Amino acid sequence: MLLSAPTFIDRTGYFPYRNLDYVFRELHEGLNHNRRILGEERYAELARMSERMWALFEADPEDKTGGTLQGSKIINEMEDVLKQVRRKF
């Protein structure tokens, strides 16, 4: 996600359907699919982080206002939360 932020548009032509909405729809579906493993509290936290990140990327499509950097930091925070789950299994 970090490499294609903030627009998530595929410049290679292999995935012409990929954009901001598609990537976040896939992220939400992935979180929902793993909801039982994550637990309700962690799932809710990740869903809130995802929504915030989506808003930041959407508000800064040209990477000029700092929203993209803030969104990228949220990606790293989400990774930290997910690593906690992985340690338990």
pLDDT at 85 over 90: no
12-15 long-range contacts (CB < 8 A, ≥24 apart) are none
pLDDT tens digit sequence for 6-29: 999 998 999 999 999 999 999 999
Q: What's the distance, Cα to Cα, between the start and end of the chain in Å?
A: 25
pLDDT tens digit sequence for 27-37: 999 999 999 99
Q: How do the domains of the chain map onto residue ranges? A: 2-88
